[in-house]
Amino acid sequence: MSNIEKWLESNTFHHGEFWDLLELVKMKEKKDLKISLCIPTLNEEKTIGKEIVIFKSELMDRYPLIDEIAVIDSGSTDKTRETAAAFGADVYLSSEILPSEGFKRGKGENLWKAIYQLEGDIICYVDADIKNIHPRFATGLIAPLIQRDQMQYVKAFYDRPLAFSQGVRPSGGGRVTEILVRPLFSLFFPELTSLIQPLSGEYAVRREVLESIPFPIGYGVETSHIIDVYMKYGLDAFGQTDLDQRVHRNQSTLDLGKMAFGILQSFLNRMEAYDLVDKLPEMSNIFRQFQAEGNRYEQVLKEIIEEERPPMIEIAEYREKFGLKKPKK
């Protein structure tokens, strides 16, 4: 049996395995673990309220598995923050966390600042646009970390129907994974192809891991995480859980192109950082697409720079807050 087959057999779960929430709570308390749920947001007023209600009522009030639910917001212009607060979440503006480090707009920035703001030994990230939200989106990811001390990083996978105004298309999600990330992993990190949906926005991670890795602030954050954790801990540090189905809003092909451009930047940066390629040539940060209007095609240029935040453990204020020593170089 290959290493990938062994890993798939031992480290792939279904959320139904973790149905006994009372037992999970007991195990969590016995291990004296604190668990935080982080929802990064930007203009998610349509779905954020239901997510907070489901998670708080089931996983805080009924079964105290989660100790805090926090929304880290990039500066929504709709009612996202007001709605989340009204339903009981702790709500933070990313720009007001660690102000000495400045503010950069992007999902990765919110995830990075959550490490400073939240208290959990385990942080579970869940995207805010899930239309069929259910407690399994947290329990399926947190449970393997409670049960297995050696596991560090648990990813979600699922069927990804696309929600359109006319209804739901039964498949078609995960397009950037299949046409970009999976081919890249197949070429350079074959073991990482074991992860069925490496770009899923739902994952739970131990604090010691999160604080030790850099964070791209944009589209490349998940891909970079996976490569960094793999290079540091190996494939056995990962787990993945089948959450059945995730319904979310559709993104246009043009938007997915921008996402792929950012991911590719992060991927190539990692290849160079780990000496897997010779020095890369200078690369353009301008992504070029075409937009049709009648019989005319207009070129659309967008600058996409995948800046990175350093490992949080390198930030003095973070070490002071959590009583940690400066890491050795």
Least confident interval from 59-63, 181-185, 203-207, 304-308: 304-308
pLDDT of 159 > 90? The answer is no
SS3 content of the chain, % helix, strand, coil (to 5): 45, 20, 35
- Per residue in 108-158, pLDDT (tens digit) is 999 999 999 999 999 999 999 898 999 999 999 999 999 999 999 999 998
Alpha-carbon gap, residue 16 to 19, rounded angstroms: 5
Model pLDDT, residue 161: 59
Give this prediction's pTM.
Answer: 0.91
Per-residue burial over 152-171, b = 16 or more CB atoms within 10 Å of its CB, e = otherwise: bbbbbbbbbbbbeeeeeeee
CA proximity to 207, closest of 118, 126, 136 = 118
Alpha-carbon gap, residue 183 to 200, rounded angstroms: 17
The DSSP letter of residue 188 is H
Alpha-carbon gap, residue 126 to 204, rounded angstroms: 9
* Contacting residues for 227 by C-beta, under 8 A, at least 6 apart: 189, 192, 267, 270, 274
Alpha-carbon gap, residue 114 to 68, rounded angstroms: 12
Alpha-carbon gap, residue 128 to 202, rounded angstroms: 10
List domains and CATH numbers for the chain.
3-250 (3.90.550.10)
- Per residue in 199-218, pLDDT (tens digit) is 999 999 999 999 999 999 98
Alpha-carbon gap, residue 126 to 202, rounded angstroms: 5
Annotate 70-128 with DSSP letters as a single string. EEEES--SSSHHHHHHHTT-EEEEGGGSSGGG----SHHHHHHHHHHH---SEEEE--S
Alpha-carbon gap, residue 227 to 266, rounded angstroms: 10
